[in-house]
Amino acid sequence: MKITALILAGGKGERFWPRSRKNCPKQFLSLTGDGKTMIQKTVERILPLVKPEDIFISTNQNYKKLVSEQLPDVPECNVLCEPVGRNTAPGIGLGAVYMRKKYEDAVMLVLPSDHLIKDEDTFRSVLSEAVETAEEESCLVTMGIKPTAPETGYGYIRFLGEGARKNAYKVERFVEKPDLARAKEYLADGKYLWNSGMFVWKVSTILGCIEKYLPAIYSGLAKIEASIGSDGEESVLNAEFDTMPSESIDYGVLEKEDGIRVLPGDFGWDDVGSWLALGRMRSLDGAGNLISGNVVSTGVENCIIEGGDKLIAAVGLKDTVIVDTQDAILICNKESTADIKKIVENLRNAKRDEYL
């Protein structure tokens, strides 16, 4: 069966402000020092499994040009722009109906555009087993990550020991982001995985689930599908998204469906959820620092410093993230990276759009 992919690239990436901006969020930035953007790396990673013409991008009008520039091999007609954000269920459903229109059915990878994976060979081999499972079992398959720490920032998936199909375990339940005590229990338990947000299923399977659990969304998607290729395509898309309910694929489908399988992955996954990820991705100096650009420092430990045009002089700092850009500089305690969103929120409230 044809293998297709839907890359989710509509995110705002606010946790990577000030480099991530409204007009160029995280997935379109190069953060790894190799000159490739996150979305370019995401596509390259799956090219051994999926042809460029079978890769679809879920994004919005603001980023259409960036996608085309950064992914010239992906056909423009595969760049699907949601008129308004309606969370992941309508977005994934939109990709699925375009695929159904083109291929009737296919196995569909659903992948975020802003994750990093160190061991790509292992990743693709897990992905291949997921494809096989999704095709032969006609079930939803999710990729779980073997936890290495009691993370409170991820949702978890508990799987059952019995009933596995090779490495594809039966999902017992999805659990929301835990507090630290629970996260420690989950880590010790051994049957919990991090929910990576990467899914594999047949187009027919996921659309069947959306029809079953989210009929209002399905009805809109069906109208859009009927309009594909017609003169009314754009106006139907706009009209249906305008009234479509907002729902996530996790709450709307995964937590309701039975028989979901999860493949435990151990391939150096990183969701690049904050500036701290840079320190995990790249090699540090002897004092635990990652320093690049126009920086002079003395007595600095465990810091991440991205210099820009202006000279940064860092003195006696510990556990601090500094990111310089053309018009703004972030100076953030490593423990407070989650609060970067507050800064963006404050700027938005103050209508300082030039910094967004």
Contacts of the segment 242-245: beta carbons below 8 A, 24+ positions apart: 242/83, 242/84, 244/86, 244/90, 244/216, 244/217, 244/220, 245/86, 245/90, 245/214, 245/216, 245/217
Q: How far apart are CA 56 and CA 48, in angstroms?
A: 16
The span of 55-63, 89-97, 171-179, 311-319 binding its own copies (CB under 8 A) equals 311-319
344's tokens: 């963006």
Instruction: Give me the least distance between CB of 295 and its own copies, in Å please.
Output: 10
Footprint of its own copies on residues 291-310 (CB under 8 A)? 296-299, 310
By rule CB under 8 A, what string of x and - marks binding of each residue 14-43 to its own copies?
---xx-------------------------
* Three-state DSSP class for residue 57: strand
SS3 call for 265? strand
Task: CB nearer to its own copies: give 19 or 261.
Answer: 19
Q: Does 311 sit near its own copies (CB under 8 A)? A: yes
Give the C-alpha separation, 274 to 336, whole Å.
10
Whose Cβ is closer to its own copies: residue 7's or residue 303's?
303
Q: How many CA atoms lie within 13 A of 236 on its CB side?
A: 16
- Tell me the C-alpha to C-alpha distance, in Å, between residue 255 and each of 20, 50, 157, 201: 32, 28, 10, 15
Looking at the Cβ atoms of 179 and 335, the one nearer to its own copies is 335
In whole angstroms, how close is the CB of 310 to its own copies at the nearest point? 6
Tell whether residue 287 is a contact of its own copies (CB under 8 A): no
Q: Closer CB to its own copies, residue 196 or residue 274?
A: 274
User: Residue 17 Cβ, how far from its own copies at the closest point, in Å?
Assistant: 8
Residue 344 CB, shortest distance to its own copies, in Å, is: 9
* Site residues (vs its own copies, CB under 8 A): 17-18, 296-299, 310-318, 320, 322, 324, 327-333, 335-337, 339-340, 342-343, 346-347, 352, 355
